[in-house]
Amino acid sequence: MTTVAERPKLAWGPRVDLSGLPDLFEGTDIEPYTPPQAGIDNLGITSTDTFMVPGKGEVQVDFTGFVRVARSRPSAAGWNESVVYTNLIEMYMRGTTAGMGPIVVTLNPAYLSTGCLWTPPEDMGCNHPAKACRMAVNALFELPQLGMTLFNKEPILLTINDVRAIPPAGNPGLGRIYEKLPLYNRANPDGEPVADITALKFAMGTYLSEERIQQMRG
């Protein structure tokens, strides 16, 4: 059910070299204000997405699942100066709607969802500034009961502010959606949009065990 992105053609930003990166699970220590070694974070995630579906109106769905985020070597040893690039290499979230059955969200293998953590320039001189985090994501929204998979073309921009440790486990975040982000039907990819995302709130969870990840993959 889940899709691991393997060298997709289109990347929103720099690729993180995955070779030799340790897979980090439950039990990994997180140091505040300390750029960590490169690695792959296996984290829980919850998200509440609001969709506008023609004929059904607004549909709000609570999703739970996991993400696997590859992090680059920090560009500098110091917290303030360091930039860290990220690639979302796996995602699996599941939610249920009243009228349309379950929705399973995974990565769109045609795109590499990428992001970064950085210190906003105006805070660079502060003591212990919070970093900001952004990631451009392309997902598949599978509705097995309807036999339909939706996808976004414009990336969904997920942002986390007030990042005081990397990864930002436990931080709330927002999808920066202005009015609507169109979704298309994978069976008619060049057609008109069939629904929109109108709002998205999420929260990063903490490190999960390898077993938990495996269970959720379903």
**Which parts of this chain interact with a second copy (CB under 8 A)?**
10-15, 52, 57, 85, 120-121, 132, 134, 136, 153-155, 157, 159, 176, 178-180, 182, 190-193
In whole angstroms, the minimum distance from the beta carbon of 81 to a second copy comes to 12
Decide whether 14 or 205 has the Cβ nearer to a second copy.
14
Decide whether 19 or 178 has the Cβ nearer to a second copy.
178
Q: Which residue has the tokens 């202005």?
A: 178
In whole angstroms, the minimum distance from the beta carbon of 87 to a second copy comes to 13
Decide whether 36 or 155 has the Cβ nearer to a second copy.
155
In whole angstroms, the minimum distance from the beta carbon of 86 to a second copy comes to 13
Chain centroid to CA 171: 13
Decide whether 9 or 127 has the Cβ nearer to a second copy.
9
Q: Is the dihedral of CA 100, 106, 112, 116 positive or negative?
A: positive
C-alpha–C-alpha distance, residues 70 and 87, integer Å? 5
Phi, psi dihedral angles at 4 (to 5 degrees): -95, 125
In whole angstroms, the minimum distance from the beta carbon of 45 to a second copy comes to 20
Which residues, including other chains, have CB under 8 Å from residue 17's CB and lie 6 or more apart? Answer: 72
Tell me the two tokens of residue 218. Answer: 């379903």
